[in-house]
Amino acid sequence: MKHAVIPVTPAQWFHHLFSARAAREGGIVRRKTRDMERMVGRSVFEREIARRGFSMVENAGQVVVFCNAEPVRLTVGRGKSS
């Protein structure tokens, strides 16, 4: 059984996130909000997502990153809350 290596720096955490196969292929990646905030901080994370031209949504303690520049359309739901 393989055990995941926990990245210890923000740079390692981002590398781990964006080297995932789904991210490399323009798909989506998901992480726990609390892990993202603990490892890199919300503002740093949001800046990196924007820098890459990606989109992100958050729901129920999870962040979902769309690793491409395509528009994201909410088809069913209540939309963005403040």
For the cut 90, the answer to whether the pLDDT of residue 50 exceeds it is yes
Task: Please say if the pLDDT value at position 53 is more than 90.
Answer: yes
47-70 as b/e, with b when 16 or more CB fall inside 10 Å? Answer: ebbeeeebbbeeeeeebebbbbee
SS3 content of the chain, % helix, strand, coil (to 5): 35, 20, 45
In terms of residues, how long is the chain?
82
E strand or H helix at 14: helix 10-18
Residue 82 has pLDDT above 60, yes or no: no
- Inter-residue contact 33 to 45 (CB < 8 Å): no
